[in-house]
Amino acid sequence: MKKVAIIGGGFVGGTAAMRIAESGLAQVVLVDVVENVARAKAYDVEDGRYALGVDVRIEGTSDMKALAEADIVVVTAGLPRKPGMTREDLLLKNADIMKTVCRGISQHAAGSLVIVVSNPLDVMTYLAYKLTGFSRQRVFGMGVNLDSSRFANLIAGKLFVGIDSVHAMVIGSHGETMMPLARFATVRGKPLSELLTAAEIEEIVARTKKRGAEIVSLYGSGSAYFAPSAAIFEIVRTVLSGTSKEISASICLEGEYGLRDVAIGVPALIGPEGVERILALDLNEAESKSLADSADAIKSSIKLLKV
């Protein structure tokens, strides 16, 4: 059976572990510096096997050696932003965590695919790519596939249609400069612009950009984890299924879209070998500029890491 290791036993990592284990796709190892948390969540998920009729094992540990023979490593480890902490403070602290994580991956799971979920996602994806030395096909970030899912959900809700009738895409950073591409969105094959007014579309685009913050505000403390874990599962399921699927992901570009030396969200064909092909969109001038601006914002953070 395939093996998926998840580094970081918080809400996102723990829920992703549950989704993967309950699917029966792979055995799961949940790794966290707080071993009791990882073990507790592993026991909790395993205790549901009988009720669900799923016979896979899940292990909880703090030992990076448990990454051995993992087909996929999902990295969710990182600190949340605390009161009084600047974005730069958070970036540097999470970069230190990523350095430790990447040493463990390189040492114990050198043949794995790496899916980065830690924030700031695009910067951490770039850092993981540099630190592991893996090809860009094998190190990429979950992020804009979550944003794309949110965009599609809001469109479906506005039009009262099934989610499977919507095609929606977000590119750019997994952050404030994300780009929900309304021009490419369709519902039952019809352009979104034929179904909603420009003002209605702009409202959905704006809400997509703020959806994460909206959820944080409603929770009062903590952030989204159900949808992020679903976005992780979408990638894991695609890789392990032996088929390929178009999924937007944060990928280190080498000239695509006129960009290089930056990880940013773009549509790609994801399959068993990871990123099989980056898909080219026919962006107009305004969209190309927005993507370049988004890349510049990511690069400014990358420079702080001095990698």
Q: Which segments are annotated as binding site for substrate?
A: 81, 87, 119, 150
Q: How far is CA 1 from CA 26, 57, 69, 153, 194, in A?
A: 6, 10, 11, 33, 47
Exactly one of 19, 108, 138, 174 is catalytic; which is it? Answer: 174
Binding site residue list: 8-13, 32, 81, 87, 94, 117-119, 150
Q: Write the DSSP assignment of 92-145 as a string of letters.
A: HHHHHHHHHHHHHHHHH-TT-EEEE-PSSHHHHHHHHHHHH---TTTEEE-SHH
Binding site residue list for NAD(+): 8-13, 32, 94, 117-119
Q: How far apart are CA 166 and CA 204, in angstroms?
A: 14
Burial category of 206 from C-beta neighbours within 10 Å (exposed 0-12, middle 13-18, buried 19 and up) = exposed
Q: Are strands 113-116 and 72-75 parallel, antiparallel or unpaired?
A: parallel
Burial category of 270 from C-beta neighbours within 10 Å (exposed 0-12, middle 13-18, buried 19 and up) = buried
Cα 14-171-254 angle, rounded to 5 deg: 100
Q: How far is CA 164 from CA 5, 186, 188, in A?
A: 30, 11, 9
Known active-site residue 174: yes
List residues with catalytic annotation: 174
